[in-house]
């Protein structure tokens, strides 16, 4: 396995989140899964963490942004949990950037940010994992789901992994059941749009016979915008990025620039929430 592929796998794949039945997976065991020694594995993870921290520092250097972080509605000692898929589980994700923003700007507040997102997760799988969310005893939940539900098989007209009706049912059930088990405040985030040209040209997707379309992402966004609680719609934010590409070469996953823009949009939206 070449270095670039290994770094990408480490960025998006986190075995310790999905292989809990094997017991505690320490760094030595996870490194072996990637064919690495523990030192190399930790070095790659640290490099990703430093990139996310640098993105946070860049945002804090923008006029007025630090004050927005000060106004985030997370009280001292609270626990903020992210639920989602690869856009959130990414070691360079908007949530990891948010974690650094809070740590850099509000270190004395002792706010915990826990990333429970799992690459490839559908709303059905997130619903099955609900007990794990309850175990975290969150005060806030930031949830971005639905992009994997609308993965199409065969072609842009092929079946989706999860029907739109089932996606809506799962999202509502996830929120309703979480409300019975926790007192957490809930914030939805819409999945970002995809770069359809890059998706179509990405050879691994061609070989697997899978694709994504923005019309399907928009259908999920429409559901989320109609749900109770706050929804942060970031589709236009990502689509409006022009200085740097918002997506990686596959057209689905966000670049660091896209993740930084998403983090900024979330802070903008939450800074006025009381």
The C-alpha atoms of residue 60 and residue 237 are separated, in whole angstroms, by 19
What is the pLDDT, as a whole number, of residue 213?
Answer: 97
What is the pLDDT, as a whole number, of residue 164?
Answer: 97
Asked whether residue 3 is domain-assigned, the answer is: no
Asked whether residue 260 is domain-assigned, the answer is: yes
The C-alpha atoms of residue 214 and residue 147 are separated, in whole angstroms, by 10
The two structure tokens encoding residue 184: 């957490």
Cβ neighbours for 186, distance < 8 A, ≥ 6 positions apart: 140, 141, 143, 175, 178, 179, 229, 230
| Residue where the block lists tokens 């539900």 | 149
Asked whether residue 37 is domain-assigned, the answer is: no
What is the pLDDT, as a whole number, of residue 251?
Answer: 96
Which CATH number fits the domain that encloses residue 173? 3.40.50.1110
Tell me the sheet residues that pair with 231.
Answer: 188
The C-alpha atoms of residue 158 and residue 135 are separated, in whole angstroms, by 37
pLDDT digits (tens, 9 = 90+) for 203-216: 999 999 999 999 99
Cβ–Cβ < 8 Å for 146, 205: no
| Residue where the block lists tokens 């999920």 | 220
Tell me the sheet residues that pair with 140.
Answer: 80, 185
Asked whether residue 16 is domain-assigned, the answer is: no
Asked whether residue 23 is domain-assigned, the answer is: no
Of 267, 229, 11, 3, nearest to 115 (Cα)? Answer: 11
Asked whether residue 39 is domain-assigned, the answer is: no
Asked whether residue 6 is domain-assigned, the answer is: no
What is the pLDDT, as a whole number, of residue 2?
Answer: 81
Cβ–Cβ < 8 Å for 235, 217: yes
What is the pLDDT, as a whole number, of residue 1?
Answer: 63
Domain containing residue 256:
51-270
Asked whether residue 21 is domain-assigned, the answer is: no
Cβ–Cβ < 8 Å for 144, 88: yes
Tens digit of each residue's pLDDT, the chain (274 residues): 688 889 999 999 998 888 777 767 889 889 888 999 999 999 999 999 999 999 999 999 999 999 999 999 999 999 999 999 999 999 999 999 999 999 999 999 999 999 999 999 999 999 999 999 999 999 999 999 999 999 999 988 999 999 999 999 999 999 999 999 999 999 999 999 999 999 999 999 999 999 999 999 999 999 999 998 999 999 988 876 667 889 999 999 999 999 999 999 999 999 987 6
H/E stretch holding 20 reads none
Please tell me whether residue 151 adopts helix, strand or coil conformation: coil
The structural domain count of the chain equals 1
Rg (CA), the chain: 18
Percent of the chain at pLDDT exceeding 90: 85
Cβ–Cβ < 8 Å for 153, 209: yes
pLDDT digits (tens, 9 = 90+) for 56-97: 999 999 999 999 999 999 999 999 999 999 999 999 999 999
pTM of the model as a whole = 0.95
The C-alpha atoms of residue 89 and residue 144 are separated, in whole angstroms, by 10
């Amino acid at each position: 396995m070449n270095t670039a592929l290994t770094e990408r796998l480490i960025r998006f794949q986190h075995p310790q989140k999905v292989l809990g039945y094997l017991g505690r997976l320490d760094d030595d065991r996870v490194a072996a899964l990637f064919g690495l020694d523990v030192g190399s594995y930790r070095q790659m993870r640290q490099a990703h963490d430093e990139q996310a921290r640098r993105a946070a520092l860049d945002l804090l250097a923008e006029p007025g942004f630090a004050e927005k972080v000060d106004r985030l509605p997370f009280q001292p000692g609270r626990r903020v949990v992210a639920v989602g898929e690869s856009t959130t589980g990414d070691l360079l994700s908007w949530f990891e950037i948010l974690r650094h923003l809070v740590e850099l700007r509000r270190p004395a507040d002792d706010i915990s940010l826990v990333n429970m997102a799992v690459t490839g997760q559908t709303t059905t799988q997130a619903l099955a994992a609900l007990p794990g969310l309850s175990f975290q005893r969150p005060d806030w939940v930031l949830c971005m789901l639905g992009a994997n539900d609308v993965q199409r098989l065969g072609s842009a007209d092929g079946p989706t992994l999860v029907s739109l009706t089932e996606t809506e049912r799962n999202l509502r059930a996830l929120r309703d059941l979480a409300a019975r088990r926790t007192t957490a405040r809930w914030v939805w985030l819409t999945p970002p749009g995809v770069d359809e040209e890059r998706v179509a040209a990405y050879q691994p997707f061609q070989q697997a016979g899978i694709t994504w379309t923005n019309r399907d992402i928009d259908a999920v966004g429409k559901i989320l915008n109609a749900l109770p609680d706050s929804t942060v719609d970031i589709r236009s934010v990502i689509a409006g990025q022009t200085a740097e590409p918002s997506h990686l070469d596959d057209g689905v996953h966000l670049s660091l620039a896209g993740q930084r823009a998403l983090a900024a949009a979330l802070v903008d939206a939450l800074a006025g929430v009381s």
